Copies of this chain bind each other. A is one copy, B any other.
């Protein structure tokens, strides 16, 4: 129904004329811009932009477009990504023993909300296989112990390469990814069961209950080596009261985890998220 588009994401030192040069670049090639948004972080002296235009070019034309773009954007001294909406990204969902985020994402995938191909589901446990395989989705188990972790991560990386996965979604995957893994495959979104920054460490809902807070939340963020401090993409919150037990907080928190993670994944797959430093710009 809607035409396919090209999407340029660019992050570079702020300087005069960037918007004019980039939109002129698109115009000269006959592109019709359907969405264009940018943000200048004056404090950081940084330009962060997103331009989307109608595009139905051939693979050869796209290769040329990338070369032309490098001529224009290269001298700006930053980094840029070019995406095409008709190149469907491939995702993998990693889980452990809790199914709520996994089922929610699988349903959204099937409902066409994500605009992605689901390559496989991976877990460190067998438990959730029965939710996944009947739907015709491959389910891979990689048990992890302290001793096997490094070797298993190498096998996981091979699988990601073989399956041409663009994005890993940690949907309550209770393992920490190593710095080696993240350097080899940096595109990973996690859901944190707390309103970051907040209760550090284990069982944040129980900590929230002990502290008697009146609102709890969840945080979807890109994964970095420094646990729970990667760039935040999306957060959501819900009111709680003294009547809620720690278990009620866990239950209410699950709903926020599902919503925040799904929104973050969708924003990223729509190429609406740029990171710089430890922060994100979300063009929405």
Contacts and interface: CB of A to CB of B under 8 A. Distances in A.
B27 A35 contact: no
A198 B194 CA distance: 11
Interface string A45-86: 000100100000000000000000000000000000000000
Chain A interface, >50% SS class: mixed
Contact of A33 (B19, B242, B259): B19
Interface string A1-16: 0100000000000001
Contacts of A280: 212, 242
Contact of A24 (B20, B99, B195, B233): B20
A231 B243 contact: no
Contacts of A96: none
Interface string A235-255: 111010111010000010001
Contacts of A259: 255
Contacts of A48: 242
A284 interface: yes
A163 interface: no
Contact of A243 (B19, B30, B239, B284): B284
Interface stretch (A36-44, A150-158, A182-190): A36-44
A211 interface: yes
Given A243-B284, A251-B113, A36 B34 contact: no
Contact of A197 (B20, B26, B213, B251): B213
- Assembly stoichiometry (copies): 4
The size bracket of the interface on A is 35 or more
A280 B197 CA distance: 23
A17 B23 CA distance: 8
A103 interface: yes
Nearest to A43: B245
Interface in A177-227: 195-199, 210-215, 217
B198 A211 contact: no
A198 to B, nearest CB: 6
Given A36-B37, A280-B242, A282-B241, A211 B232 contact: yes
A18 interface: yes
20 contacts: A2-B42, A17-B27, A19-B23, A19-B36, A20-B20, A20-B33, A23-B24, A24-B24, A36-B36, A39-B243, A103-B107, A210-B278, A211-B278, A212-B231, A213-B232, A214-B232, A214-B233, A215-B236, A239-B239, A241-B282
